[in-house]
Homo-oligomer: A and B are copies of this chain.
């Protein structure tokens, strides 16, 4: 009769059986509770080590009601902006013994809601949400489910939830002023198609800076280049459209571009590099995010930076407060920004 040595995973029960105490005693001993004698505690811990005990976090979570998981819902990790922030968030979370579960919404509200549902089903202790345009339902769902959450980077509305953002208006102001100080007097505000929540703040900063320097309304323009992240099949068509727009801008005498974010600025640069009509030297370009500081790209872009670490730390901090039952009014943390000049402004 062959005995199957199907070695299953070691449980508290196994340790209890071997040491001759109850399961509870083992549990307490391993957690260094004070009601176990030093000698017993040592014996049990030694046995646990010898037997190769690895606690079952699932069982622990079910009983204790805490998973120590923080879900992070963001657009997608192919975007370095999210990649960098994910790393920062993981660091901050790990420091407080939380595990991060990254979920990618592809900026699709429906998928985002599905992910929210999953975060709830998996009993995440809290969620960090990078809202996109259609996050209203997601937010309501979290509120209904009493799931602690923090909004990061954008807030669909004021005061609805804890949020960590940076000074959007100030950033756009700094960027625009940098263009102006670099000698550009006809400025375009360039962004990807959809209006994001932060867009209005950035526009305001752009406007303020123009006003402050006496740039007339006629010397400002707003260019929305639409769709495609440049990787899709219709990428070339999209790029041609963008190139045509840029050529048009140049012909009208516009020479300064404030681009919504670094990723979009890369697309602009790529379009310029592949065009016969326009080139990098035709425009001063400044954008927001300062991704190069974290990536060491060979793409010198003047950009407005902020601290990724501060964003991560504050997100975790606010979230933990809620997880631990805080019910005070929603808090909004606004982080400072700074200009990093790398020459793309075309200062002469």
**A115-158, CB < 8 A from B:** 117-118, 120-123, 144-146
A90 at the interface (CB under 8 A from B): yes
How far is A298 from B67 in the complex, measured between Cα atoms in Å?
42
Q: Does A87 contact B (CB under 8 A)?
A: yes
Instruction: Assess whether A328 is interfacial by the CB under 8 Å rule.
Output: no
Copy count, this protein chain: 2
- Complex contact A58–B297 (CB within 8 A): no
Q: A101-125 interface mask toward B, CB cutoff 8 Å, 1 = contact, 0 = none? A: 1111000000000000110111100
Question: By CB atoms of chain B within 10 A, which of A101, A293, A297 has the most?
Answer: A297
Q: Is A59 at the interface (CB under 8 A from chain B)?
A: yes
Interface size band for A: 35 or more
Residues of A41-68 whose CB lies within 8 A of B: 52, 54-59, 61-62, 67
Q: Which residues of B contact A103 (CB under 8 A)?
A: 90, 99
Q: How far is the CA of A269 from the CA of B299 in the complex (A)?
A: 9
Which residues of chain B are near A267, meaning CB under 8 Å?
Answer: 296, 298
Residues A231 and B295 in contact, CB atoms below 8 Å apart: yes
| Contact A58:B54 (CB < 8 A) given known A86-B77, A273-B300 | no
- Interface: A266 (CB within 8 A): yes
In the A-B complex, the 10 residue pairs with the smallest Cβ-Cβ separation, listed nearest first, are A230-B296, A269-B298, A83-B83, A77-B83, A270-B298, A77-B86, A57-B121, A57-B122, A78-B87, A58-B62
